[in-house]
């Protein structure tokens, strides 16, 4: 069993003991996604599954009125998922990476920069914001 799966299972046990319903539901859903992934024809890395689910949860928060109970519940679930995501980068760090990539390329363009940037920031920074930063730097 992978390290991430063990962390999720341990988190489920701890949430059950603490009677933390939000945490328990979030981790159980991640475990369900892992099981579906393991039985699929082409399994993805576990981290990619958590990144995709966290993005989905974060995006769904905008569908609810600000400060509503439903939105607060979604943000609480996202906070649980963040514990399993890589450390987030700030704008300055991403801009430094963009500048380094631009310096290496002879004729930098949007596609070339994004192709190199995406794997470096995956799960650590918002892709749409990174895309806008690349546009602004060209």
The answer to whether the beta carbons of residues 26 and 77 sit under 8 Å apart is: yes
Q: Quick one: three-class SS letters along 1-44?
A: CCHHHHHHHHHHHHHHHHCCHHHHHHHHHHHHHHHHHHHCCCCC
State the pLDDT at residue 1: 53
State the pLDDT at residue 2: 66
Start-to-end CA span in the chain (Å): 45
Query: What is the topology classification, in CATH, of domain 3-82?
Result: Hypothetical Protein Yqey; Chain: A; domain1 (1.10.1510)
The answer to whether the beta carbons of residues 123 and 86 sit under 8 Å apart is: yes
Q: Where are the domains of the chain?
A: 3-82, 91-137
d(CA 77, CA 83): 11
* Residues of the chain below pLDDT 70: 1-2
Q: What is the mean pLDDT of the chain?
A: 87
Q: Quick one: three-class SS letters along 84-102?
A: CCCCCCCHHHHHHHHHHHH
d(CA 124, CA 118): 10
């Amino acid at each position: 069993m992978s390290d991430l799966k063990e962390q999720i299972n341990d988190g489920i046990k701890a949430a059950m003991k603490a009677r933390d319903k939000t945490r328990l539901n979030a981790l159980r859903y991640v475990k369900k996604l892992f099981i579906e992934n393991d039985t699929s024809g082409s399994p993805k890395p576990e981290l990619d599954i958590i990144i995709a689910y966290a993005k989905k949860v974060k995006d769904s928060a905008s569908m609810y009125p600000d400060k509503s109970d439903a939105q607060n519940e979604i943000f609480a679930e996202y906070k649980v998922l963040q514990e399993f995501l890589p450390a987030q980068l700030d704008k300055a760090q991403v801009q430094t990476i963009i500048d380094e990539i631009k310096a290496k390329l002879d004729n930098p363009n949007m596609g070339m920069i994004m192709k190199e940037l995406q794997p470096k920031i995956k799960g650590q920074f918002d892709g749409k914001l990174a895309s806008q930063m690349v546009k602004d730097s060209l």
